[in-house]
Chains A and B, each alone.
Chain A
Amino acid sequence: MNQKINIRLKPLMVLLPALLGATLASEGKEIKLLNVSYDPTREFYVEFNAAFAKQWQTQTGDKVTVQQSHAGSSKQARAVIDGLPADVVTLALAYDVDAIAQRGKLLPADWQKRLPNNSAPYTSTIVFLVRKGNPKGIKDWDDLVKPGVGLIPANPKISGAARWVYVGAWGYALKKYGNDEAKAKEFVTKFYKNVPVLDSGARGATTTFIQRGIGDVLVGWENEAYLALKEAGPDKFEIITPSISILAEPTVSLVDKVAKRKGTEAVAKAYLDYLFSAEGQDIAGKHFYRPRSEKAAAKYAGQFSKVTLFTIDEVFGGWSKAQKTHFDDRGTFDDIYKP
C-alpha cells in the first residue's frame, strides 16, 4: 500500500518544486523604491507611481512599490545626506540635488546631464492665489508690497517653492528698476514685511492660507494653486498670474550609491526615464505641471495663463550664486526677514 502511494506520488514530488518555481517566477520579484520629493508633488506621484508600477510589471513581471516622502525641498536634501535611503530624489530645484552630490557624495557632480532637459521633466512658475472677488485688487508683484496686504509664502531657508518665490520677486524688481540691486532689496524687504507667518513648506503655506484663513495672497507654485482651486472650488479662490515670473525647474536624479547598495539601479533609472515618457508627461500636465514634451505641452496649454518667464541663470547667474548670496546663513534673506 505504502509502496503504491510512493509510486503514485513520485512524479508529483519531482514536479512540485518545478511547478512552485514556475509560479514564483511568473509572480516576479517584489521591489521597493523610495522617492524623496518636495512638498506639493504628493498627488502627482501617487498617480505616476501606479502607472509606472503597471508598466514595469508588464515589462518585467516584477512588482514595484514606490514609497513617497514629502517635505520642504532643502529639508529633504538634508535628510538624504543624513541617511534617508532614497533611490531617487525629485526635488524642487537643482541646488538641493547638488547638495546631495557635493556634501553627501551620493551621486556624481554631473548628475544633471544624465537626463533630458537638464534633468527637469516638467516646469512650473510662481503665481498668486487670492480669495474670491480679489478683495485687495492684486494684479501684479507691485500689489504685493502695498501696506496691509497679507502674503503667505513658505520659508526660503527650508522650502524650494519659497526660494523660487523670493527669486521671482527679486527678478521682477530688478527688471522694474533697471537692475538696481539696492531697489530690488528694498522691494523684497517690503514683500517680507507683509508676511505674517512663514511655513516650512509649500503645502504648509497652502494650509495656512486655505484652511486657517490667514492672509490675502498665497504666493507659491502654479500647480499647487490650480490644485487648491480644483479642490476648494472656484467660488472660493482665484488665481492671479503676474506679468512676469520665474521659470521654476524641479529636477530629478538617481541616488547612485543608495540604489547600488539596494540593487535597485535599473528600476530606479527606468522610473526616472518614465517621467519623460508620453505617459509621464501626460500625468504631469494633468497635475498642473508644465510638461516638457511638445505634445503634452500643447494638450495642457489651455489650462495655464500666459506669462513671460525669466530664468535663475539670467537674473542670478545660477543657483549656487543665488544660494550663497541670498539664502546661506547671514545672507540677504537673513538681513531682510526679521520676524
Chain B
Amino acid sequence: MKINRWVVTAAIMAACGTGAEARADETSDTIKALREQIEQLDQKVRVLERKGELERETTVEKSAATPRLTID
C-alpha cells in the first residue's frame, strides 16, 4: 500500500512537472513566434522607410535635372 502511495505521488509530481514543462515550452514557443513577427514587422517598416528615402532622392534628382524658365 505504501508503495502504491509512493507511486501515485510520484506519478502526480511527474504529471505536474510535465505540465509545467509543457506550459514553459508553450510560452517559449509563443515568445519565439512573437519575436519572429516583430522582426518581420520591423523589416517591413525599415523597407517602407528606405523606399520613401529613395523616392525622395529620385524626386530631388529629377527636379534638379528639369530645366526652369523664369520671366523677369
Binding site for B on A (CB under 8 A): 150, 196-197, 199-200, 204, 208, 212-215
Nearest chain B CB to A136 CB, angstrom units? 12
Q: Are B49 and A212 in contact (CB under 8 A)?
A: yes
The 4 lowest CB-CB distance pairs between A and B, nearest first, are A196-B47, A214-B46, A197-B50, A212-B50
- Does B43 have its Cβ within 8 Å of any Cβ on chain A? yes
A212 to B43, CA, bound (A): 10
Say whether chain B's binding surface is mostly helix, strand, loop, or mixed.
helix
- B-side interface residues, number (CB < 8 Å): 9
Within 8 A of A (CB), among B19-46: 43, 46
Q: Are A214 and B54 in contact (CB under 8 A)?
A: no
Q: Are A212 and B54 in contact (CB under 8 A)?
A: no
- Does B56 have its Cβ within 8 Å of any Cβ on chain A? no
- Chain B residues near A204: list those with CB within 8 A: 54
- Chain A residues near B57: list those with CB within 8 A: 200
Chain A's closest residue to B47 (CB) is: A196
A212 to B47, CA, bound (A): 9
Chain B 48-72 interface 0/1 with A at a Cβ cutoff of 8 Å (1 = within): 0111001001100000000000000
20 A-B residue pairings within 8 Å (CB atoms): A150-B43, A196-B43, A196-B47, A197-B47, A197-B50, A197-B51, A197-B54, A199-B54, A200-B54, A200-B57, A200-B58, A208-B50, A212-B46, A212-B49, A212-B50, A213-B46, A214-B46, A214-B47, A214-B50, A215-B43
